Structure 1
């Protein structure tokens, strides 16, 4: 599956497989509940690279679940512990950078409830986020 930037998705490579992170409202609500942290705190932690690996695993698991095809995640693949091991293997700074992008889009109101990016206002002579 390939990330669709127009939906607010970004891709991430974990376990030698490209996966999609999608900042849907449901994913964000679940992440906040499971981590006990606000979206703002999570975005700041990702940006500062202070997010614990267990928290990263929860965030990644839920964002992947929101962006995955129904058959892409099953059984243990959807469990945060599995994602934590893959994050450790991939390197936490690289994953934190990807999480910063996706969590900031959700935090700043740049994404709709379903995780789609909102259109950026265009000004003559200035490129938009969609390249128009």
Structure 2
């Protein structure tokens, strides 16, 4: 087994494999970036990593990421709030979107569902900007 691995490395096969995998992940990252730009435009800021298999997507202040996570789950899309990856649970209004396990069609579908979830939240906020039961005065009073 060790000899096979040594031959794999010495014959240059490992380098070929790593180049092929890096090219594929770069393609997936670029697809996700393009889909996010198309779906959200100026509503998001994306940190483009030099490496890694996930993007950090920061949403405009009007988008509640925690609500977005819940609404996305209703649409069978599992996304994680950036807060889950902070050692202190800081409330950064961002999502961490992994792309390594998704093919191109899945990336497109996931982005569409995320946009659908964001639109549903925005519509709900427009109908009830206070986020509580409506009252005759426009916003619920407690």
User: TM-score interval w.r.t. the shorter chain?
Assistant: under 0.3
- Which protein has the larger Cα radius of gyration, Structure 1 or Structure 2? 2
When normalised by structure 2's length, the TM-score is: 0.24
Higher RCO (C-alpha under 8 Å, 6+ residues apart): 1
TM-score, with structure 1 as normaliser? 0.26
